[in-house]
A and B are shown apart, each in its own frame.
Chain A
Amino acid sequence: MLDYLIKRLIQIIPVLLLVSIISFSIIYIAPGDPAMTLCAGPDGQVDPEYVEEFTKKYGLDQPLYVQYFTWLKNVLHGDFGYSYKTQQPVWDIVLSAFHATLKLAIVSLVISLIISIPLGIISAIKQNSLTDTFCMIGATLGVSMPNFWLGCLLMLIFAVSINWLPAAGYGDGGDLEHIILPAITLGVSSAAITARLMRSSMVESLSQDYILTARAKGVSERTITLKHAMKNALIPVVTMIGLNFGFLLNGSPVVETIFCWPGLGELTVRSMEMRDHMVVQGCMIFIALLFIAVNLVVDISYKFLDPRISYENE
């Protein structure tokens, strides 16, 4: 197990290097000059002297590879640079955005699981019945609805029409009132996919021979479903949930922007607009790290879900 962990941790290094090279290149290929964007005055005019000073200060006149290696060297010393715009350390900006995203991701995941797991199980037990059809039509609707549309719709209903919840914003450090609408928006779409997978996985488990063995032992249908079938059915579903959580942790640019949620997605989009390259680069590295971490946790969780999997002799 320890060998496996070390191996997986070593694999992170080339992945991060590759991610950083790709994102660094893409940012520089993209049109727009940070100096021109950031040094523009309130009415759009640009002071050439100021631009030159800015360019020199951040080394933007250097060739791409020089800029990259300078950045890499600093990163290896734990310095992710400073935002061109606010002059704050990138790492601090990213962490505080992640804090907001994490809150949203956890609430969204909880909502998604509360909806999807029972829905999948009920559909599977009542396979091909009216209930099943109804649940699966709901799930298809959930997948098909675009996030921005659902978000706006929820906003219209709960914030504008009946005025129960605030329309957008982070509130007092991301309080429950403000989190509900964006979390439902994100939760519903990921619930839909998970519910469908849970259903098909449960249907498959329920048709296995060991279910007949359990029935022959006199086990009640409830225990058969919740113990014998679900334990097996959850194995593929956990992968899906893990992946989903990975996506949620990276922050959804669309949903966060709609709800003015100061998370990672919103930060990435905003800093791209501002050509705030250091922050974009920091976001990319952080998102890559998160994804790797979530995948590792999912892989390790298999060992506890499926005793047939062992990492001992790999």
Chain B
Amino acid sequence: MSLVEIIGLSAHFPTHDGIVKAVDRIDLNIEDTETLGLIGETGSGKSVLGLSITRLLPPTAIVEGKIIYKGRNLLTVSEDDIRKIRGGEITNILQNPTTSLNPVVKIGEQIAEAIRLHQGLNKKEAKEKAIEMLDAVKVPSPSKRAQQYPHEFSGGMKQRVMIAIGLACDPFFIIADEPTKGLDVTIKVQIVDLMKEMTEHKTMLLITHDLGVAAAMCDRIALMYAGEIVECATPLDLFEKPMHPYTRGFLNSLPHRGLTPIQGMSPSLINYPDGCRFSPRCEYVNEECIHHHPDMFRIECEHFVRCFNARS
């Protein structure tokens, strides 16, 4: 059963040069208790998709489509209702913990704030719960650390704090944006283990460009290119039987697969090609690809791909 159903979601940003279509008519189901990975290169629209679910995009963004959660469309519920859902039932673990924590507010308070808002605990109880959360994300001497400020924490520790904030109110759905970005390999492994442990029975959308992290944590992976999803499959299928030429190119650009770059440049987010958005860079391109925009085709029961060539 799907917990969150995204239907035809677009997030466009008007700029001086034209409309930036960061997310363009995306359909995505997130099943209950699954971890869905959203991968893609920088600028493919992953983070915008994550933020648009809880309506955290700036007011200039034009967001269309539907996001159905528990029978309600999150894009049309009132401002008060979405605020109650944010940080409580659905949480965003934002990227860049260094800049995402308020430098002049104590760590304990930054966690307790969400607890007070969503769980109706008083100041003292919330503070205790915040210390429990710090302990749960394995921050040593949590009651002392709760009294400290972000600049007294290392990068990995700040990421743990971000996770603690995201999980403090026992959410149904977690949107984690690049939780391992900028961390050392050893710290990255610790964070991945921690997240796996803490989100075991939870639903999560994991946004990353780290395929190793996605493979280790996800039940399914969706690959984004130029504002849309081009392939969606289980990690095994995606890595072993990639169907989309972009997926193959993406995988071949990994260090252990030879570091082969994909020819050409990503398209401008303002003017997409008329047909398949990957067609200008694709070596299997034909007439149909240039003039028609492909839909998602189902290859196997859990394997979808947006490519005319994969259809046959």
Q: Which of A204-257 contact B (CB under 8 A)?
A: 208-210, 212-220, 227-228, 231-232, 235
Contact A216/B87 with A209-B94, A307-B151, A308-B149 known, Cβ cut-off 8 Å: yes
Residues in B with CB closer than 8 Å to A308 are 103, 149, 151
Residues in A with CB closer than 8 Å to B105 are 227-228, 231
User: Are B103 and A216 interface neighbours, CB within 8 A?
Assistant: no
Residue of B51, B96, B113 contacting most chain A CB atoms (<10 Å)? B113
User: Are B84 and A232 interface neighbours, CB within 8 A?
Assistant: no
Residues in A with CB closer than 8 Å to B54 are 216
Asked if A306 is at the interface of the complex by the 8 Å CB criterion, the answer is yes
Residues in A with CB closer than 8 Å to B56 are 212, 215-216
Asked if A153 is at the interface of the complex by the 8 Å CB criterion, the answer is no
Q: What band does the interface of chain A fall in when counting residues whose beta carbon is under 8 Å from B? A: 20 to 34
In chain A, what residue has the closest Cβ to B104? A231
Identify which of A216, A232, A306 contacts B92 (C-beta below 8 A): A216
Identify which of B88, B100, B104, B151 contacts A213 (C-beta below 8 A): B100
User: Are B151 and A219 interface neighbours, CB within 8 A?
Assistant: no
In the complex, what's the smallest C-beta–C-beta distance from A80 to chain B, in angstroms?
Answer: 43
Asked if B159 is at the interface of the complex by the 8 Å CB criterion, the answer is no
In the complex, what's the smallest C-beta–C-beta distance from B109 to chain A, in angstroms?
Answer: 10
CA A213 to CA B92, docked complex, whole Å = 8
Q: Which of B75-91 contact A (CB under 8 A)?
A: 83-88, 91
14 A-B interface contacts by CB (under 8 A): A209-B96, A209-B99, A209-B100, A213-B94, A216-B54, A216-B92, A216-B94, A218-B83, A219-B113, A227-B105, A231-B105, A232-B102, A232-B103, A308-B103
Identify which of B94, B103, B113, B165 contacts A307 (C-beta below 8 A): B103
User: Are B114 and A218 interface neighbours, CB within 8 A?
Assistant: yes
Asked if B293 is at the interface of the complex by the 8 Å CB criterion, the answer is no
User: Are B117 and A212 interface neighbours, CB within 8 A?
Assistant: no
CA A214 to CA B109, docked complex, whole Å = 12
In chain B, what residue has the closest Cβ to A232? B104
Could you list which residues of chain B lie within 8 angstroms of chain A, going by C-beta atoms? 51, 54, 56, 83-88, 91-92, 94, 96, 99-105, 110, 113-114, 117-118, 149, 151, 162, 165
Q: Which of A298-313 contact B (CB under 8 A)?
A: 305-308
Residue of B114, B149, B162 contacting most chain A CB atoms (<10 Å)? B114
Contact A212/B94 with A218-B87, A218-B114 known, Cβ cut-off 8 Å: yes
CA A231 to CA B88, docked complex, whole Å = 25
Contact A219/B99 with A307-B104, A307-B151 known, Cβ cut-off 8 Å: no
In the complex, what's the smallest C-beta–C-beta distance from A112 to chain B, in angstroms?
Answer: 24
User: Are B165 and A213 interface neighbours, CB within 8 A?
Assistant: yes
User: Are A217 and B103 interface neighbours, CB within 8 A?
Assistant: no
CA A235 to CA B104, docked complex, whole Å = 10
User: Are A218 and B99 interface neighbours, CB within 8 A?
Assistant: no
CA A208 to CA B51, docked complex, whole Å = 15
CA A210 to CA B165, docked complex, whole Å = 12
Residues in A with CB closer than 8 Å to B88 are 218
Residues in A with CB closer than 8 Å to B94 are 209, 212-213, 216
Known: A210-B101, A219-B117, A231-B105; 9 extra A-B contacts, CB below 8 A, are A212-B56, A215-B56, A216-B91, A218-B88, A219-B113, A220-B83, A228-B102, A232-B103, A305-B104
